[in-house]
């Protein structure tokens, strides 16, 4: 019996997906739940498992095709098409013939032990154009993933000369400047293309305003240092600063729910739950997985959810309903050393909080008797971006003061 493989709907607002890579070809045997292809949408890059076991008899759309959700994209079982039959019968090749039919550049997806290599379509295109064998390039990305800079650095070191052409002749090194810079035009991925469209639409539709507060995180820094080993042992998750910030954000949103709202026509929607978006930077874009009903989560549950969603976002394991419907977003703009960032709203939300870099700085402290002293404190900038149609400056200030109060006077159990 034939089984249809359809383009899945990876979220309530997703209507199409782009096929970035087929891991199987017509004539290949696939197992149920084995990864069959990779797709890209504006919200998520995902690995799509096979819905059944059998022989992949037909691929209806090639890599690079953008297809509407629920459209049949492949067939497992059933009769082989003529093209698939020919392809399948040509697979058994002896050594010399195989080397001619499938040069090294076409083998970049699979490691020598059969494990699929981690690389983006852009990386694979650069490798193919320059006759590179990706096995020889060390990956510096998450889980050993090979990124664009890894390939460019490899080229800059003159490694192309060591790569053999299928004819056995030495490859001609590609001209690369001493700085490693290249003049090239690279098309956007589907995710990047739609992110670009939505960022422009967000700025054009909402009057953005921003306010920046400096928050003393010294109390939390000391608490984390003291408790993180026991916390990880007890709960199986690392104790980062993000659950502290998430918990404080939830508390402030409960006090000032207008910041958890959104504009609908000429009305303001006050949401009954806090669906907290956590922006995660990927090598191929940005994604915002969502913690549903964050106001009902304990500190440990927030910490576990943040770690779990971030890990699955980076390994393309997020579920469709985990990438949409957020009511407020946190984004860590200080992860790369920045003081603070001025974020763009994640529509249709009315507010977004950017977290700056955490640094030790001298600060003036005043005791109960009014005496001033200078001490080294761990300080962090927080920038709130908000839609000025919905939120006034006074509301934003009240929210930020409550966030500051909770973080600076943290007195909650880590449970």
Q: First CA to last CA across the chain, in angstroms? A: 51
Question: Residues 109, 210, 392, 395: which is the catalytic one?
Answer: 392
DSSP lists the bridge partners of residue 3 as: 76
DSSP assignment string, 8-64: ---STT--EEEEEEESS-TT-EE-TTSEEEEEE-SS-EEEEE-SS-EEEEEE-S-TT
> Over 157-198, what HEC string results?
CCHHHHCECCCCCECCCCCCCCCCCCCCCCCCCHHHHHHHHH
Start-end of H helices in 190-298:
190-205, 218-235, 242-255
- Element spanning 73, H or E: strand 72-76
Q: Is 33 annotated in the active site? A: no
C-alpha 149, offset from chain centre: 18
- Tokens representing residue 165 in the block: 């052409």
Q: State how far the Cα of 216 lies from the Cα of 363, in Å rounded to an integer.
A: 9
Q: CB–CB of 213/382 below 8 Å?
A: yes
Give Cβ neighbours of residue 299 (< 8 Å, ≥ 6 apart): 243, 247, 412, 413, 414, 415
Question: Residues 135, 222, 273, 388: which is the catalytic one?
Answer: 388
Q: Is 392 annotated in the active site? A: yes
CB atoms closer than 10 angstroms to residue 336: 9
For residue 360, say if its preceding peptide bond is cis, omega within 30 degrees of 0: no
* Nearest of 179, 171, 185 to residue 132 by alpha carbon: 171
Q: CB–CB of 210/351 below 8 Å?
A: no
- Active-site residues, by number, are 388, 392
């Amino acid at each position: 019996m034939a089984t249809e493989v359809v383009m899945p709907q990876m979220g309530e607002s997703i209507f199409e997906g782009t096929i970035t890579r087929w891991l199987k070809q017509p004539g290949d045997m696939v197992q149920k739940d084995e990864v069959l292809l990779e797709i890209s949408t504006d919200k998520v890059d995902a690995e799509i498992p096979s819905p059944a076991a059998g022989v992949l008899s037909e691929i209806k759309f090639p890599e690079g095709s953008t297809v509407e959700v629920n459209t049949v994209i492949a067939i497992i079982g059933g009769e082989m098409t003529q093209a698939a039959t020919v392809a399948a019968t040509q697979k058994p090749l002896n050594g010399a013939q195989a080397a001619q039919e499938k040069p090294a550049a076409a083998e970049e997806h699979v490691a020598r032990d059969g494990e699929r290599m981690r690389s983006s379509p852009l990386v694979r295109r650069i490798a193919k154009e320059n006759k590179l064998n990706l096995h020889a390039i060390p990956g510096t990305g998450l889980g050993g993933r090979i990124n664009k800079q890894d390939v460019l650095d490899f080229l800059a070191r003159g490694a192309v000369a060591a790569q053999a052409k299928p004819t056995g002749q030495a490859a001609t090194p590609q001209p690369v400047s001493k700085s490693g810079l290249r003049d090239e035009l690279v098309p956007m991925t589907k995710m990047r293309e739609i992110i670009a469209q939505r960022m422009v639409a967000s700025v054009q539709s909402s009057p953005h305003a921003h306010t920046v507060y400096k928050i003393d995180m010294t109390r939390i820094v000391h608490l984390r240092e003291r408790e993180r080993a026991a916390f990880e042992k007890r709960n199986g998750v690392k104790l980062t600063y993000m659950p502290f910030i998430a918990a404080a954000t939830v508390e402030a949103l409960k006090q000032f729910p207008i910041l958890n709202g959104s504009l609908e026509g000429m009305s303001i929607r006050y949401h009954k739950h806090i669906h907290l978006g956590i922006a995660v930077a990927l090598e191929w874009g940005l994604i915002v997985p969502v913690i549903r009903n964050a106001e009902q989560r304990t500190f440990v549950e927030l910490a576990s959810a943040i770690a779990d969603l971030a890990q699955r976002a980076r390994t393309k394991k997020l579920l469709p309903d985990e990438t949409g419907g957020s009511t407020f977003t946190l984004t860590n703009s200080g992860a790369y050393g920045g003081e603070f960032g001025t974020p763009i709203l994640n529509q249709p939300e009315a507010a977004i909080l950017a977290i700056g870099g955490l640094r030790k700085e001298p600060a003036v402290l005043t005791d109960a008797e009014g005496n001033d002293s200078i001490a080294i404190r761990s300080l962090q900038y927080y920038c709130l971006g908000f839609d000025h149609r919905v939120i006034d400056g006074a509301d934003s200030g009240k929210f930020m003061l409550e966030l500051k109060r909770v973080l600076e006077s943290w007195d909650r159990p880590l449970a």
